[in-house]
A = this chain, B = another copy of it.
């Protein structure tokens, strides 16, 4: 049977700690050449609405150790509005009921069969959070306890969940341009995580005195500036432009997620993506030589060093997501969901065939 799972199923079966463990092991496999990731591709055309594009994004990966291959698909109407002075990349919930569309499909590497299909939302948050959590595990000071969190949205909650899984966090200072939203977020996260989360009025106030700086924004502009860095800090981002290039260059140890610098963009001829313009988005840190930087899987595998001294400024750039993460974390979701009898079972024959395609 092929399992159809919901976001609630994913949320209830996989903890952040389990996701971190699944990814850590899978990254070790990847570093040793026993796994493979196909670079994300973004395919875009104009939509019927002005300044809105239709984007079909896919990424694939295979974790042979877990016996799982994954394809993650996002079918989005995307716009780039400017809010509070910064340009953001926003997906419009245009599907029936005001919903978004992201799917993960898991396949067996032993039989090829489709094992499960589910929305990507919760797993997306888990895998992004878990990845930056692993960055902190290997690059933050071992006694890190003060955390700055830039952003108060969906991904910010994942970052907060992850950092409290890998560090003994005393306090999280959170900043986002929408003060009300930030205050609500701080209050909710305090009760969820059982640590003090407070809203502050500027990114600078959040960052001052922090051991760990986590970005989780939709901005395509810089939000963490070099002049705010302090000795011993660990800084990390989930989108390339969040950290000012000067701040990356000032970090004594910089680790990236993958050497695939940017997605493969395929667009209608002449279509300009607001987050693919000079100095913005993907091109914001073009001065960084990605080829020369160690990756997180290499650091986890001990092929490249993590933090050397407590004073060092370290930086993890979660520069581009991998389908491989969905295979790794998705395998754990599938195994647990199966054991717990979650989801709708559909006949596998609906998704297989008796002809050689």
Interface residues of A (CB under 8 A from B): 4, 6-7, 33-39, 41, 43-48, 54, 56, 58, 60-62, 64, 69, 71, 73-77, 90-91, 93-103, 105, 107-114, 117, 119-122, 124-125, 153-154, 264, 266-270, 344, 346, 348-357
Query: 5 closest Cβ contacts across the A-B interface?
Result: A121-B355, A102-B357, A99-B352, A75-B107, A119-B353
Task: Say how far A214's CB is from chain B's closest CB, in angstroms.
Answer: 18
When C-beta atoms are compared, the residue in chain B nearest to A76 turns out to be B112
Question: Within the assembled complex, what's the spacing in Å between the Cα atoms of A69 and B352?
Answer: 21
A35 contact from B111, B268, B349, Cβ within 8 A: B268
Contacts A56-B107, A95-B348 given; does A75 touch B69 at CB 8 Å: yes
**A91-B6 CB under 8 A given contacts A36-B43, A54-B109, A107-B75:** no
List the B residue with the shortest CB-CB distance to A102. B357
Residues of B within 8 A of A64 (CB): 45-46, 54, 268
CB-defined contacts of A111 to chain B, threshold 8 Å = 77, 94-96
* CB < 8 Å neighbour of A43 from B46, B62, B94, B353: B62
Q: A121: which of B34, B102, B353 is its contact (CB, 8 Å)?
A: B353
Q: Which residues of B contact A124 (CB under 8 A)?
A: 357
Number of copies: 2
CA of A205 to CA of B17, assembled, Å: 66
The docked-state distance in angstroms from the alpha carbon of A103 to that of B61 is 17
A37 touches B266 (CB 8 A): yes
CA A56 to CA B114, docked complex, whole Å: 12
Closest-by-CB residue of B relative to A72 is: B357
- Report whether A33 and B356 are in contact in the complex, using a CB–CB cutoff of 8 Å: no
Residue contacts A-B, CB under 8 angstroms, 5 given: A4-B350, A56-B107, A75-B113, A119-B352, A154-B357
- Min CB distance A237 to B, Å, is 18
Q: Does the CB pair B356–A100 fall under 8 Å?
A: yes
Shortest beta-carbon distance, A89 to chain B, in Å? 11
Q: A101-B353, A119-B352 are in contact. List 8 more A-B contacts (CB 8 A).
A: A7-B353, A46-B64, A47-B109, A54-B110, A56-B107, A71-B71, A75-B112, A121-B356
From A271, which residue of chain B is reached at the shortest CB distance? B36
> How distant is A3 from chain B, measured CB to nearest CB, in Å?
11
Smallest beta-carbon distance A203→chain B, Å: 21
| Least CB distance, A55 to chain B, in whole angstroms | 9
A101 contact from B56, B60, B113, Cβ within 8 A: B113
Separation of A322 and B354 alpha carbons in the complex (Å) = 23
Chain B, residue nearest A269 (CB): B33
Pairwise interchain contact A100-B43, C-beta atoms closer than 8 A: no
Tell me the nearest residue of chain B to A30, going by C-beta: B268
Does the CB pair A96–B45 fall under 8 Å?
no
**Structural contact, B33 and A56, CB atoms closer than 8 A:** no
Instruction: For A155, give the chain B residue with the smallest CB separation.
Output: B356
Asked if B56 and A62 make an inter-chain contact with CB atoms under 8 angstroms apart, the answer reads yes
Q: A348 — which chain B residues lie within 8 A by C-beta?
A: 95-96
Q: Output the least CB separation between A272 and chain B (Å).
A: 14
> Are A356 and B154 CB-contacts (below 8 A) given A58-B38, A103-B351?
yes
